[in-house]
């Protein structure tokens, strides 16, 4: 056992066999910057660690060698390496957080079917297509970002501080399999050109950070968010296809409110009850929203105590 951290960063090393007796690391294990390493053989006896980071190893294609690893208490981080999937660590029972980024060959997270995972984040991995190993899991957070070949998001329940972030998925048309509990750390859905629904978010009442819906021209209604009453940071509603903003229960916005560039928007009365305490309230560039209706929203925000910079412009017509 190592009581502390273990860092293995030795260029030219192509084997971890000298570690074959290692069973536990109480702190973090970092293995990285080793272009000659092609296998994790030698770590078969490792049962538990605080965190495990595998980074900058382009010739490492699998987790074979971690067959005995059962618990990663904190974070499993995989980045800028040659992984194709996560098979080889099938004995993993518990992972605090899974973070994967810039793994150009990685196609999915198969191998995690039996593991309990706190949160999952996968981004900037151009070959990634398969989240099915997560189907049916309950997570504290889920992030899928900049995955150009992904067409299906997993069926997961999300509730907790890490929130839900889904961005830059050009082939995803629906996230109906995603459901949320009453509280999310953040809710961000952005730049999804063919997305037509926001999933099952009816139970959501509190977003502790940002609520951002942006670049979603196929979203024609957001009634699934009608129960949200409190947003701790910013509310951003930009470039949506909806005619009405269905946040009818929203009473408190801890940051700014931005309603911009919504070409089909005609009704903003659902926001009249919101108290905005941040520095900005912007209602601009909504080409079908009558300027008088936009100004009525601005007046309601002022009546509710808004004291920041209010901008209402570029909407339909002129209000006399």
The reported pLDDT for the residue numbered 22 is 86
pLDDT digits (tens, 9 = 90+) for 131-156: 999 999 999 999 999 999 999 999 99
In which element (H, E) is residue 188 found?
strand 187-190
Task: Give CA–CA dist 280/298, Å, rounded.
Answer: 11
Q: Tell me the pLDDT band of 307, cut-offs 50, 70 and 90.
A: very high
User: Could you say which of 94, 118, 134 is where a domain stops?
Assistant: 134
The reported pLDDT for the residue numbered 36 is 87
Task: Give CA–CA dist 94/162, Å, rounded.
Answer: 17
The reported pLDDT for the residue numbered 262 is 97
Is 152 a domain residue? no
| Domain span at 71 | 1-134
Is 290 a domain residue? yes
For tokens 């997993």, the residue is: 154
Instruction: Give me the number of domains the chain comprises.
Output: 2
pTM, rounded to two decimals? 0.93
Is 154 a domain residue? no
For residues 222 and 185, state if they share a domain. Answer: yes
Q: Which of 35-44, 155-164, 271-280 has the lowest mean pLDDT?
A: 35-44
- The candidate with the shortest Cα–Cα distance to 101, out of 83, 74, 119, is 83
8 Å CB contact between 275 and 305? yes
Residue 288 CA, chain-centre distance (Å), reads: 31
User: Could you say which of 101, 134, 167 is where a domain stops?
Assistant: 134
8 Å CB contact between 187 and 212? yes
Whether 317 has a pLDDT exceeding 90, the answer reads no
C-alpha distances in Å from residue 154, one per residue of 121, 138, 143, 186, 190: 12, 11, 11, 18, 17
Is 149 a domain residue? no
The reported pLDDT for the residue numbered 156 is 96
Is 147 a domain residue? no
More confident residue, 286 or 23: 286
The reported pLDDT for the residue numbered 21 is 86
Task: Give CA–CA dist 319/306, Å, rounded.
Answer: 21
Is 16 a domain residue? yes
Whether 294 has a pLDDT exceeding 90, the answer reads yes
Structure tokens at 313: 């412009």
For residues 175 and 229, state if they share a domain. Answer: yes
Structure tokens at 46: 């490792």
> Whole-number mean pLDDT of the chain?
93
Is 143 a domain residue? no
User: Could you say which of 134, 167, 195 is where a domain stops?
Assistant: 134
Query: Between β-strands 138-145 and 157-167, what pairing exists: parallel, antiparallel or unpaired?
Result: parallel
Structure tokens at 197: 């629904």
The reported pLDDT for the residue numbered 10 is 78
Other residues' Cβ atoms within 10 Å of the Cβ of residue 3: 8
For residues 20 and 168, state if they share a domain. Answer: no
For residues 98 and 227, state if they share a domain. Answer: no
Task: Give CA–CA dist 133/179, Å, rounded.
Answer: 17
For residues 113 and 164, state if they share a domain. Answer: no
8 Å CB contact between 93 and 67? no
The reported pLDDT for the residue numbered 13 is 75
For residues 126 and 64, state if they share a domain. Answer: yes
For residues 126 and 166, state if they share a domain. Answer: no
Structure tokens at 103: 């793994």
CATH number, domain at 287?
A: 3.80.20
Mean pLDDT of the 75-104 span: 92
For residues 99 and 14, state if they share a domain. Answer: yes
8 Å CB contact between 87 and 114? no
For residues 124 and 82, state if they share a domain. Answer: yes
For residues 168 and 301, state if they share a domain. Answer: yes
More confident residue, 318 or 284: 284
Q: What is the percentage of the chain residues whose pLDDT exceeds 70?
A: 100
| DSSP-assigned letter for residue 140 | E
8 Å CB contact between 126 and 103? no
Give burial (CB, 10 Å; 0-12/13-18/19+) of 320: exposed
CATH number, domain at 85?
A: 3.80.20.20
pLDDT digits (tens, 9 = 90+) for 5-58: 989 887 777 888 888 888 899 999 999 988 888 999 988 999 999 999 999 999
For residues 170 and 305, state if they share a domain. Answer: yes
Whether 320 has a pLDDT exceeding 80, the answer reads no
For residues 32 and 77, state if they share a domain. Answer: yes
């Amino acid at each position: 056992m190592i009581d502390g951290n273990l860092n293995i960063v030795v260029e030219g090393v192509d084997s971890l066999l000298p570690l074959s007796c290692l069973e536990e690391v109480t702190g973090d294990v970092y293995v990285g910057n080793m272009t000659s390493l092609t296998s994790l053989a030698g770590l078969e006896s490792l049962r538990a660690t605080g965190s495990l980071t595998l980074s900058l190893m382009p010739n490492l294609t699998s987790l074979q060698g971690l067959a005995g690893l059962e618990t990663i208490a904190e974070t499993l981080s995989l980045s800028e390496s040659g992984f194709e999937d996560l098979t080889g660590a099938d004995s993993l029972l518990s992972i605090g957080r899974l973070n994967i980024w810039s793994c150009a060959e990685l196609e999915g997270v198969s191998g995690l079917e039996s593991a309990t995972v706190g949160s999952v984040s996968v981004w900037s991995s151009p070959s990634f297509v398969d989240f099915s190993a997560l189907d049916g899991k309950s997570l504290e957070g889920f992030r899928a970002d900049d995955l150009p070949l992904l067409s299906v998001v997993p069926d997961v329940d999300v509730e907790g501080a890490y929130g839900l972030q889904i961005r830059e998925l050009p082939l995803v048309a629906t996230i109906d399999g995603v459901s949320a509990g009453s509280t999310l750390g953040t809710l961000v859905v952005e730049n999804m050109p063919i997305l037509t629904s926001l999933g099952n978010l009816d139970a959501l009442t509190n977003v502790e950070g940002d609520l951002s819906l942006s670049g979603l021209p196929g979203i024609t209604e957001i009634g699934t968010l009608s129960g949200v009453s409190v947003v701790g940071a910013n509310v951003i509603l930009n470039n949506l296809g909806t005619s009405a903003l269905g946040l009818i229960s929203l009473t408190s916005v801890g940051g700014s409110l931005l309603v911009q560039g919504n070409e089909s928007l005609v009704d903003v009365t659902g926001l009249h009850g919101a108290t905005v305490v941040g520095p900005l309230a912007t209602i601009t560039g909504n080409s079908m929203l009558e300027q008088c209706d936009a100004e009525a929203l601005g007046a309601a925000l002022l009546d509710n105590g808004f004291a920041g910079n209010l901008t209402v412009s570029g909407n339909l017509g002129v209000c006399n």
